[in-house]
Homo-oligomer: A and B are copies of this chain.
Amino acid sequence: MTAPVRIVLIDPSHPGNIGSVARAMKNMAVTDLVLVRPRSFPHPESNMLAAGADDVLANARVVSTVSEAVADCGFVAGTTSRPRSYYWEFTTPRDVAGRIVALPDDNRAALLFGSEKYGLGTEDLQYCNVLVRIPANPEYCSLNLAMSVQLLTYEIFMAREQPHSQTQLELPLAAAGDVEHFYNHLHQVMNEVDFEDKTGHLMDRIRRLFNRAQMDRNELNILRGILSAVQGRRGQSSSRPQ
């Protein structure tokens, strides 16, 4: 068994695409689908295009934020064909599939797919440990949403079929929800010590740094402890958020 994989569609606008995604997933033995703010779901067109993968649709979870969609995931990869202005680690579907399959199976992985029209928003990237770009014709590189899901899940299926090493992790990766609490805590401490954010992008940069590092639960707890200690020194008035 390898790490379970979740497909997260953010703001999908066409019910038919959701159905095609369900079929593509089931073809590759991936069945955990989460929909963030779908324009219309459930919808008969989704079921028509699911063509027998109705069980994937029936078990799909609808949430209103990306944060909820990935809260229990230790590894989050975002798919994008757009260039991004800041430093991001870009990798390929094959590489990311290998990394997901190498995760111990108590680490859930999520693959994020943006809307048909706009792809992932900048605000979605802040949850990602890594970004994936599907190699494609540079003059015509925007794939249909369900096609992208098909390629990614195919690479995961292929990677699972092949002999693969397992990454040595002392502890499971920190779940995205817990990492979120850490960022809130850090932000609070920064305010308490009057650290000035001159650019307005400081938290974005800090998130990219820590997301890239893929903290485990222990590391996260150490950082939380440090933050609490800083607050302790500054008096009883400061509180540790959840």
Contact = CB atoms under 8 A, between A and B. Distances in A.
A222 interface: no
B94 A136 contact: no
B26 A144 contact: no
Contact of A135 (B52, B134, B150, B157): B157
Interface of A: 20, 23-24, 26-29, 51-53, 94, 134-137, 140-144, 146-147, 150-151, 154, 157-158, 161
B94 A141 contact: no
Nearest to A56: B140
A225 B131 CA distance: 59
Nearest to A146: B147
Given A135-B157, A135-B158, A136-B157, A27 B150 contact: no
Nearest to A51: B144
Given A135-B157, A140-B53, A161-B135, A147 B94 contact: no
A125 to B, nearest CB: 23
